[in-house]
Amino acid sequence: MKKYSLLSLFTNGLNGHKRWPQAWRDAEPKRSYDVVIIGGGGHGLATAYYLAKKHGITNVAVLEKGWLGGGNTGRNTTVIRSNYFYKESTNFFDHSLKLYEKLSLEFNYNLLLSQGGITTLAHNRHDLEVLERWANSMQVQNVDSEMLTPEQIKERMPLIDISPTSRYPIWGGFVQKRGGVARHDAVAWGYARGADAMGVDIIQNCEVTGILREGDSVRGVETKYGVIKADKVAMCVAGHTSVLGAMAGLELPIVSQPLQAMVSEPVKPCLDGVVLSPAVHAYVSQSDRGEILIGGGADRYPSYSQRGTLPVTEETLAAAATLFPAFGSLKLMRQWAGIVDISPDSSPIMGKTPVNGLYISGGWGTGGFKAIPAGGDCLAYTIANDKPHDLIEPFGLDRFARGAFIDEGAAAGVAH
């Protein structure tokens, strides 16, 4: 892969980047493909990458209605962790974390993975008991987790208020030290560059407006370029999974709600890692640019407006400023939202659907960024073999009919 010197960066800056090679081709859509992937977010791109890399399937198109990463992948707060409760989840999410740990090297492209740890707070005896059970469950599954006293929490993040008279007194918490953050755009771009280099066609500004079926089987999609045929189609459209599902005649158990995030003006380094309080509905980290990044629970009503409502913004900021009083004096710089698809058990829906050749990666709710490598890896396997990968078999759509829920509402981290 080409390397750039400081001089070349400088001259390219002056000439308007005219000589920089494109990171991926602007592909012309063909009339048919072996596999069409709907959605150019992290999951769609990672699925295309692993189809090509691990299964030699390169006659693949990724169709994106806007720009790559313009959905939730480019809107999320980039928390990466595998601290879930049930073994189905820890197996899957720890596979993802392990893939993340190697990905910058594999891509030769820096994803800015920063494993500063993720600390979850308890504010009363009940919270503490739940966290102890949760941390213990992770330890018996061989996933790192450590209980912390309030003093140990203060040592990790000196600006937090641990006084017993605080509005949300801190009784303790637990940390997953391998947890952290990665640069969201770089994850999408890294997978896009890799998939493109292996021959995958990435087509932006190409909305799918219909899914074609012949009896029980999928046959392709409709777009502004006309019909694009494929006997295998994957829906990787977080936020719009039920909309795409309906195009194929599927009614999915999903509710779509906005989830907000916001950043302050930049300040000097003062917070390492991520801290999350499920009880007060706020989580906080500091970006590489120095901004304090703050998020909270999902908005309360289903909606496709990518804005969020003011009461939730206010509650989230109030909670963050109560945990970290010093942040109360910061100016808010930006606020935004994405639409998240929430399933009844707060776990993703991955794998085959009742329509032959139609695959789903959805229901990621508030937590699918951390899942991108494993989601792509396992969905690619499922598509290539028309058989669910072992790690995602428990997350199939059929679990709702069987009542085999994987209820991760508590470990989802943020309220929804």
Give the three-state DSSP class for 9: helix
Q: How far is the CB of 249 from ligand PYC (least distance, A)?
A: 31
By beta-carbon proximity to ligand FAD, the closer residue of 157 and 237 is: 237
Q: From the list ligand PYC, ligand FAD, none, which binds 90 (C-beta under 5 to 8 Å, kind-based)?
A: none
What is the C-alpha to C-alpha distance for residues 108 and 46, in angstroms, rounded to an integer?
Answer: 16
Would you give the distance in Å from CA 223 to the centre of its chain?
26
> Which positions from 314 to 333 touch ligand FAD by CB under 6 A, shown as an x/- string?
--------------------
Shortest CB 260 distance to ligand PYC, Å: 10
Binding window for ligand FAD (CB under 6 A); candidates: 26-34, 163-171, 352-360, 361-369 = 361-369
Element (H, E) at 301: none
Length of the chain, in residues: 416
For the record, the structure tokens of 36 come out as: 């069409």
> Which of these, 193, 188, 221, lies nearest to 207 by C-alpha position?
221
Closest CB 375 distance from ligand PYC, rounded Å: 13
- The 8 Å CB, 24+ separation contacts for 216-223 are 216/354, 216/355, 216/356, 217/355, 217/356, 217/357, 218/248, 218/355, 218/356, 218/357, 218/358, 220/32, 220/36, 221/36, 221/38, 221/63, 223/29, 223/63
Task: Kindly state whether residue 293 participates in binding ligand FAD, applying the rule CB under 6 A.
Answer: no
Contacting ligand FAD within 29-58 (CB under 6 A):
38-44
Question: Both tokens of residue 32?
Answer: 């048919």
Q: Which does 42 bind (CB under 5 to 8 A by kind): ligand FAD, ligand PYC, none?
A: ligand FAD
Is 239 in contact with 305 (CB distance < 8 Å)?
no
Provide the binding-site residues for ligand PYC, judged by CB under 6 A. Answer: 77, 79, 81, 283, 295, 366-367, 413-414
* Contact partner, 241, from ligand PYC, ligand FAD, none, Cβ < 5-8 Å per class: none
- The residues that bridge with 256 in the sheet, in sequence order, are 341
| Least gap, CB of 70 to ligand FAD (angstroms) | 5
* Binds ligand FAD (CB under 6 A): choice among 75, 183, 213, 389: 75
- Among ligand PYC, ligand FAD, none, what binds residue 236 when CB lies within 5 to 8 Å by partner kind? ligand FAD
Residue with nearest beta carbon to ligand PYC: 367
Cβ 90 vs Cβ 143: under 8 Å: yes
- Dihedral sign from CA coordinates of 35, 219, 65, 204: positive
Min CB(331)–ligand FAD separation in Å: 20
Q: Which residues bind ligand FAD (CB under 6 A)?
A: 38-44, 63-66, 70-73, 75-79, 207-208, 236-240, 244, 259-261, 295, 337-338, 340, 364, 366-370
